[in-house]
Structure 1
Amino acid sequence: MNIVLAEDNDILRRSLSFFLESKGFVVKQFSDGKDALEAIKTNTFDLILTDINMPGVSGMEITQYVRQTIGSPIPIIIFTSSGVEQTELDCFDIGANEFIAKPVSPAVLLVRINKLLNKRS
């Protein structure tokens, strides 16, 4: 299973990538939303994990591209440190499958990933 991980916090991105790779996933890491979006345009992935606020292109813009421009059903999980309820609602409105507040628990993330991927199988 190939995963895009777009997160500008280096420590979080590397630790989540290490954890997911230890569980058998192939993770392509990006610290910039623009680079992640380019990879999504040119490769096939099974899941997108993205921070909402990133340099270049935001997680919301990535989600809008995937849902509206290419019409893909690929599962998308958005991370944010924002505690604003409207932000969460906006993420779901544009097509995110899950929303996880930071700090991200790797164990909880794995449960949500498996839930989303098993639905698609």
Structure 2
Amino acid sequence: MRIILAEDNDILRKSLSFFLESKGFTVDQFSDGKDALDAIETNNYDLILTDINMPGKSGMEITQYVRQTINSETPIIILTSSGVEQTELDSFDIGANEFIAKPVSPAVLLVRINKLLKTHF
């Protein structure tokens, strides 16, 4: 299974990538939303994992693009340090499948990824 991870926090991105790879996933990681979006356009991913606030393009813009422009049903999990309820509601409104507040528990993330992949495939 191939995951794209868009997260501008280097430590979090690298640690989540390492954890997911140790669980058998292939992870393409990006610190810039525009670079991640370019990769989404040219590759097939089984899951998109994106932070909301990033340089280039935000996680919201990525989600909107995936759902509306390329009409993809690829599962999307949004990560954010924002505890604002409206942000979470907006994420679901534009098509995110899951919303996880930071700090992220790798074990909880893995459960949510597996649940999404099981219902999607």
TM category, shorter: over 0.9
- Runs of 5+ in structure 1 lacking a partner? none
Matched residue, 2:58: 58
Instruction: For residue 49 of structure 2, give the secondary structure of its aligned residue in structure 1.
Output: strand
Shift of 1:83: 0.5
Residue identity opposite 2:110 in structure 1: L
After TM superposition, the score normalised by the length of structure 1 is 0.99
Q: Name the structure 2 match of 1:10.
A: 10
TM-score by length of structure 2 reads 0.99
Query: How many residues are treated as equivalent by the alignment?
Result: 121
C-alpha deviations, 1:51-109, integer Å up to 9, x for none?
A: 00000000000000000001100000000000100000000000000000000000000
Q: Hey, what does 2:21 align to over in structure 1?
A: 21
| Partner Cα distance (2:51, 2:62) in 1 | 10
Supply the RMSD in Å over aligned alpha carbons: 0.3
1:38 corresponds in structure 2 to 38
Question: What's the offset of the Cα at 1:120?
Answer: 1.4
Alignment of 1:33-112 (within 5 A): 33-112=33-112
1:3-22 Cα shifts (integer Å, max 9, x gaps): 00000000000000000000
Equivalents in 1 of 2:17, 2:56: separation in Å?
Answer: 21
Letter in structure 2 aligned against 1:57:
K
The one-letter amino acid paired with 1:50 is T
* Cα separation, 2, equivalents of 1:105 and 1:48: 17
- The unaligned stretches of length 5 or more in structure 2 are none
